[in-house]
A and B are shown apart, each in its own frame.
Chain A
Amino acid sequence: MSPWIVGFLALYVYPMLASLYYSFTKYDGGKAAPKWVGLFNYRFMFTADPLFWASLRNTIWMVAVSVPLSIVLGVGSAYVLTKPRRGRAFYRTAFFLPTMVPAVAASVAFLFLLNAGGPIDHILGFFHLPQPLWFLNAQWSKPGLVVIGLWGIGSTMIIFLAALLDVPTHLYEAADIEGASAWQKLRYITLPMISPVIFFTAVIGIIYGFQYFTEAYVVGSSIGGAAGSSGSGLGAPQGSTLFYTIWLYQQGFEAFHLGYASAMAWMLFAIVLVCTLVLIRSSNRWVFYQGGGFR
């Protein structure tokens, strides 16, 4: 146990307390000691920093769109995998493969795939579908990031596949005898039986969704600054990919406003905590546990 205790104290307890303290100070990491400013950072965040609100809105948009979409498409693609009698292993490998692609490589790949005149543009044009400018357009940059996320849906899918294969077949047989339709079987058997996994995926999705960083960093830094603007160009185009953690990173590690960055980090923790608790509270209304009780 002892290495973990050292790690717990050095990597969690001390940094948590220290960053809580910094969040009440003004500190640039230099020789001058942190200067106590009370609640100033938090007040500034809510009343004087429009980019705090912009980044929070972008992040909530991302969580609200990509978490439900990845659950629906995760269940959908897992359902497709339960059907074929032959070739399931092949399809599973194919569906899972993109999950292996490192986030930076996937972002670079989609910067190319979604660029105007690129392959996806070409395919959409072939089917006479709209051909948006994706990362060059503030309206379409977040949907472009959602596409990158959905491409790597594999691990969610594998979890749902295991859950779907776990549903006892006698339930479906009984429903067949009763003459239930496919929709009724989905609604009254499949969904309740896999609801604990949906719940779990939603919780994890929210926790990680609020920390969304890498893809936005790669896309923003590649798109931004192209027109010779100053700085790292993060958040481009027009601040549409300025997510909470991107703004926090810029405040902390580009501007060295360490006090303000710490306050933002604690606010992030509070938001994630509240969202998770609300979800857990709501769960007894829609999550069905076979054995009863929380697992």
Chain B
Amino acid sequence: MSEATVAAVVPRTRQRTAEARRKAFLSTVATHSVAIALTACFVLPLFFVVTTSLMSQQQALTHDLIPHPFQWRNYTDIFSEEPIFRYGWNTFVYAGLATFGVIVSSVPVAYALSVIKWRGQRLVFLLVISTMMLPSQVTIVPLFLFFRNLGWIGSLKPLIVPAFLGDAFSIFLLRQFFLTIPSDLIDAARVDGANQFQIMWHVVVKVAKPAIAAVGLFQFLYCWNDFFGPLIYSSNNDSIWTLSVGLQHFTTIHRGVLWNQQMAASVVFMLPVIILFLIAQKAFIEGVTLTGVKG
């Protein structure tokens, strides 16, 4: 290439990179503007809820954004007006025990549906999947009558005990994960003389910790947020109400007024799970991605 052509080419390339850089810069600005606008849509509602929860009742009806003065009393007020500690404890007992139950009962089933091979396995797996599709309304009337005959209505038992009999969604999620475990690992344990239970406990459970954590998180959140179950089974016995039923009741008796206290109660309800999410975010998002299923 002669020197003349090089000289002619260089400035043009330089021009083009400057042009490209300008374009890249503009597209970065555009991307972030859209992303920030969306962030506002998702986060501002929470911001308004929190600020309103700290306002006086009068100020909550104005357009003010910042509480003046900060009325922290709202949070102590709701605790004295409603038995929130009891609601919280009930919610925690329900979510905690049901999560424990689902894990101890679903791991063996998922193990039997993935690691062990047997006749009729596919059919049983299809049955498990199909129970996920069944609307809960179809079984709720007989289950209600069944639990009533046992004298369990007005207690947390109808919510907790069934969790110890396995949960289709958790079985499905765990099975999908167990299938990805290399068979060499399992064969090696078998050669060493481990029985099925030992293989499950020492090999599969150890490797599948992230999946088990995800199942536990999903189940805990599901129970924490559950409204239909506690609504049906607590049957007006407010000593076993969970936070969801308690908050719904609180909103109904203060229709359209006391927004500050309603928002404070909502914050108390959502804060534990939001903190849980911020701590366990990675396990959580991996879990959602793993299944492609909503929690």
Contact = CB atoms under 8 A, between A and B. Distances in A.
A102 B244 contact: yes
B162 A222 contact: no
A221 B289 contact: no
Given A4-B105, A11-B165, A113-B48, A96 B285 contact: yes
A133 B262 CA distance: 20
B173 interface: no
Interface in B99-134: 105-106, 108-109, 112, 124, 127-128, 131, 133-134
A8 B244 contact: no
B35 A7 contact: no
Contacts of A269: 134-135, 138
Nearest to A200: B292
B224 A102 contact: yes
Interface string A94-114: 111110111111001111110
Contacts of B179: none
B139 interface: yes
Contacts of B145: 18, 29, 258
A177 interface: no
Nearest to A114: B45
Interface string B248-273: 10011001100100110110011001
B32 A211 contact: no
B201 interface: no
Interface in A40-87: 77, 80-81, 83-85, 87
A155 B227 contact: no
A140 interface: no
A12 B142 CA distance: 10
Interface in B204-239: 221, 224-225, 227-228, 231-232
A168 interface: no
A94 B278 CA distance: 11
A95 B43 CA distance: 8
A15 B259 contact: no
Given A101-B274, A103-B225, A197 B137 contact: no
Nearest to A103: B225
A252 interface: yes
Interface in B38-73: 38-39, 42-46, 48-49, 52, 61, 63
Contacts of A225: 252, 255
A84 B252 contact: no
A159 B292 CA distance: 6
Interface stretch (A185-193, A212-220, A286-294): A212-220
Contacts of B52: 112
A180 interface: no
A10 B224 CA distance: 24
A222 B48 contact: no
Interface string B70-88: 0000000000000000000
A119 interface: yes
Contacts of B232: 253
A112 B256 CA distance: 8
Contacts of B32: 84, 87
Contacts of A151: 42, 45
A145 interface: no
Interface in A139-178: 151, 155-156, 158-159, 162
A272 interface: yes
Contact of A83 (B31, B244, B255, B265): B31
B136 interface: yes
B166 interface: yes
Contacts of A258: 141, 145
Interface string A243-284: 001001000110000100110111011001100100000000
Given A93-B281, A155-B295, A112 B35 contact: no
Nearest to B44: A119
B269 A12 contact: no
B138 A268 contact: yes
Contacts of A36: none
Contact of A97 (B42, B138, B227): B42
B143 interface: yes
A7 B262 CA distance: 39
A97 B274 contact: yes
B137 A245 contact: yes
A246 to B, nearest CB: 11
21 contacts: A4-B109, A4-B166, A10-B165, A12-B134, A14-B146, A15-B142, A16-B138, A80-B38, A93-B281, A96-B285, A97-B277, A100-B270, A104-B243, A112-B52, A113-B45, A155-B294, A208-B294, A221-B252, A222-B256, A248-B137, A266-B138
